[in-house]
């Protein structure tokens, strides 16, 4: 029973950290507008971006974190996270990889007519790597 309590406590702490991390991300309409107006520093495939992060996260953060990028690739998943924030995940190379593009609720209407397996281009601000995926905030479909 003690092990069960220990594991349950660890699970609750991890869950709280995830909720805090997601809640601290900037997917505001103002941030999205700023991202749309700024020129992209890089245009890169989702596979290549996730590969660079998988090979050396520190180096990739130095290069990309905070930068506006256009990523392109195949849609792996379309949905909403636990905070009800719309997202599109693009396929990466290997297990637990890819790019998760977070959108403001006002951008959700742009999801009409797209589906998993479609090829797409998305502009957003790189926010590092979390849970195996590279994160893009304030995203917009190009």
20 in a domain, yes or no? no
Number of domains in the chain: 1
Strand stretches in 1-118, DSSP E = 42-45, 68-80, 86-91, 98-102
pLDDT tens per residue, range 3-40: 555 555 555 445 433 443 444 444 455 666 777 778 89
pLDDT tens per residue, range 69-118: 999 999 999 999 999 999 999 998 766 789 999 999 999 889 999 999 99
Q: How far apart are the first and last CA of the chain?
A: 53
Helices (H) and strands (E) in the chain, counts: 4, 6
22 in a domain, yes or no? no
* Domain membership of residue 90 as a residue range: 27-141
Cβ burial, residue 81 (10 Å; 0-12/13-18/19+): middle
Q: What's phi and psi for 92, nearest 5 deg?
A: -115, -170
7 in a domain, yes or no? no
| pLDDT for position 5 | 53
């Amino acid at each position: 029973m003690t092990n069960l309590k220990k594991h349950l406590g660890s699970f609750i702490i991890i869950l709280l950290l995830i909720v805090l991390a997601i809640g601290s991300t900037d997917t505001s309409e103002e941030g999205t507008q700023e991202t749309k107006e700024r020129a992209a520093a890089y245009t890169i495939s989702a596979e290549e971006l996730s590969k660079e992060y998988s090979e050396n996260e520190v180096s990739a953060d130095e290069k990309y974190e905070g930068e506006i990028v256009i990523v392109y690739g195949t849609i792996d998943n379309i949905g909403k996270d636990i905070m009800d924030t719309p997202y599109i995940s693009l396929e990466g190379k290997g297990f637990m990889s890819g790019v998760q593009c977070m959108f403001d609720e006002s951008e959700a209407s742009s999801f009409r007519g797209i589906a998993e397996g479609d090829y797409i281009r998305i502009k957003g601000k790189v926010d590092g790597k979390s849970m195996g995926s590279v994160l893009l905030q304030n995203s917009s479909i190009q």
